[in-house]
Amino acid sequence: MRFKWVAACFAITFLGVASGQERAEQAAEDKAQLLEQKAVEKGDKARVPKSQAITAPEAQAVDPAGAAPLDDALTCLARSIYWEIKGGPATEMEAVASVVMNRLGHDDFPDTVCAVVKQGSEKRACEFSWWCDGRADQVKEDDQYALAKEIARKALNKQLPDRTHGALYFHDKTVKPGWAKKYVRTAETRNFLFYRP
């Protein structure tokens, strides 16, 4: 009898925690969608009221295993940050987040974070190389992914300074793409160069 009582208490507690995490995840996804729309409509001038900002616990509740489908702004942005930088420093993660956010609402790019991230995949000429590299996209380092989600949260909340100075493009320093000659270099990190028209 006592075992059944303990098991029932455990089950109720577990369901409460799980439903709390699901609520936080849904709240973050809903807020991210609204913030994404504001970024498209108002660009850098979009201010985020505190009540609409994604909280850190909400962001961390989204895609905890780093394996969810890429169908919401927070997951798409966090996974792009994670895979493009592949264990690099936070400053480079922030720069990638800025490039994605700078593309939102720009005439040459889609109007959602996920569409920006996946752009070009229909032609196998992805804007973000990790999306078309043919490798599995499941997260391997939980700490790095948690950091990527926090940076994505700040970027969507407009709490992240744009150290790329409006960059729409970037590349690893080990390559020299021909397109880079057409643009103005705006910033440099340890491993990447950033550009805008």
Residue of 155 and 25 predicted with greater confidence: 155
- The rounded distance, in Å, linking the Cα atoms of 58 and 91 is 22
- The rounded distance, in Å, linking the Cα atoms of 105 and 107 is 6
Residues 6+ apart with CB under 8 A from 117: 70, 76, 77, 79, 80, 100, 127, 128, 131
Confidence of residue 123 (pLDDT cuts 50, 70, 90): low
- Which DSSP state fits 112? S
Bridge partners for 187 per DSSP? 194
**Domain residue limits, the chain:** 2-196
Task: Tell me how far apart the 2 most distant CA atoms of the chain are, in Å.
Answer: 75
**Exposed, middle or buried: residue 11 (CB in 10 Å: 0-12, 13-18, 19+)?**
exposed
Mean pLDDT highest for which of 8-17, 46-55, 73-82, 128-137? 73-82
Mean pLDDT to the nearest integer, 52-66: 89
83-104 pLDDT tens trace: 989 888 999 999 999 999 999 9
Q: Is the pLDDT of residue 177 over 70?
A: yes
Residues 6+ apart with CB under 8 A from 71: 114
Supply the pLDDT for residue 158. 93
Quick check: 88 and 103 in contact, CB under 8 A? no
Token representation of residue 86: 């592949």
Supply the pLDDT for residue 35. 85
Supply the pLDDT for residue 8. 41
Supply the pLDDT for residue 64. 86
Supply the pLDDT for residue 49. 82
Assign 3-class secondary structure to 50-71: HHHCCCHHHHHHCCCCCCCCCC
Q: What 3-state DSSP class applies to 197? A: coil
Quick check: 100 and 93 in contact, CB under 8 A? no
pLDDT > 70 in the chain, percent: 82
Tokens 């440099």 sit on residue:
188
- The rounded distance, in Å, linking the Cα atoms of 14 and 148 is 27
- Where is average pLDDT lowest: 23-27, 68-72, 110-114, 120-124? 120-124
Quick check: 142 and 71 in contact, CB under 8 A? no
- Which DSSP state fits 178? G
Mean pLDDT to the nearest integer, 29-44: 80
Supply the pLDDT for residue 90. 96
